[in-house]
């Protein structure tokens, strides 16, 4: 049984065949998922999907690329949603220096506000990091995010950055890129992450694992991520999936 901790089934790419995608996930043994919302539209979509399916949960937050659009009303709305029975985390939130729609200082402020909210409502946070590792680590430390912990999603940083995040009570989650032939760094990090802090995800429809690289990703493919990590950690697929399922349930406080 697999827990895909980061899916965007709320994306337009799944509008036409969502039921089939969920069906294929179940056939592949993906029994649990968290649908991540990151702006007004995708948060509503994540909640609708989570409400309609057993064992599908939602995370709600504001994406750093769109940080400039987040208002105080949005933040108040996130606070309200934190008590929704299917909301298990806040995010994704973080920093993304690849795109320049939102200036860095605004991204940082919106990130800090969401960490403070997570501490107030006591939910773990899901971190999006693109080309901003050091600033992410600094802000997590300054805001004492270790009080809530959470997930470094689709981790692509160095072993040093991973260790800094582990020290702050975070889990490291791997997605499709760990399966890429040339993915030296994620493979190195996967070997180092303690078993009780390891998670798997697809981030679908993005970042499909090998051999589907470049195609639309879907939750059923999380199996390929699990197989790759089991191989790297020299353990059986069953052991790996059991451990990551337990880790996710514990983190998200799911019985």
Contact set with Zn ion (CB under 5 A): 92, 128, 203
Q: How far is the CB of 239 from Zn ion (least distance, A)?
A: 27
Q: How far is the CB of 98 from Zn ion (least distance, A)?
A: 11
How would you list the strands of the sheet with 30-37, edge to edge?
2-7, 30-37, 56-60, 87-96, 125-130, 150-152, 170-174, 198-200
Residue nearest to Zn ion (CB): 128
Tokens of 166: 């582990």
What's the closest the beta carbon of residue 123 comes to Zn ion, in angstroms? Answer: 17
Pick the closer one to Zn ion by CB: 131 or 239. Answer: 131
- What b/e string do you get for 76-110 counting C-beta neighbours within 10 Å, with b at 16 or more? eebeebbeeebbbbbbbbbbbeeeeebeeeebbeb
Residue number with CB closer to Zn ion (113 or 128): 128
Quick one: 216 or 233, whose CB is closer to Zn ion? 216
Write down the least CB distance from residue 182 to Zn ion, Å: 21
Burial class (CB in 10 A: 0-12, 13-18, 19+), 182: exposed
Residue nearer to Zn ion on the CB measure, 49 or 230: 49
């Amino acid at each position: 049984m697999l827990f895909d901790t980061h899916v965007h089934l709320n994306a337009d790419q799944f509008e036409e065949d969502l039921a089939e995608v969920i069906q294929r996930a179940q056939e592949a043994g993906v029994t649990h998922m968290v649908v991540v919302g990151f702006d007004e539209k995708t948060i509503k979509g994540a909640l609708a999907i989570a409400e309609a399916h057993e064992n599908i949960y939602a995370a709600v937050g504001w994406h750093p690329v769109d940080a400039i659009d987040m208002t105080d009303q949005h933040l108040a709305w996130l606070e309200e949603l934190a008590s929704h029975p299917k909301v298990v985390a806040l995010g994704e939130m973080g920093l993304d220096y690849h795109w320049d729609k939102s200036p860095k200082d605004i991204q940082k402020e919106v990130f800090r506000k969401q960490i403070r909210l997570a501490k107030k409502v006591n939910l773990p946070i899901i971190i999006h990091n693109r080309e901003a590792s050091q600033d992410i680590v600094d802000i997590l430390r300054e805001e004492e995010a270790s009080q809530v912990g959470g997930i470094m999603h689709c981790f692509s940083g160095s072993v040093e950055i991973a260790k800094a995040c582990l020290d702050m009570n975070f889990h490291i989650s791997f997605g499709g890129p760990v399966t890429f032939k040339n993915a030296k760094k994620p493979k190195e990090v996967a070997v180092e992450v303690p078993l009780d802090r390891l998670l798997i995800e697809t981030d679908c429809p993005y970042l499909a694992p090998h051999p589907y690289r470049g195609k639309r990703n879907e939750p059923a493919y999380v199996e390929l991520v699990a197989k790759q990590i089991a191989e790297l950690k020299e353990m059986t697929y069953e052991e790996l999936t059991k451990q990551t399922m337990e880790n996710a349930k514990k983190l998200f406080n799911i019985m």
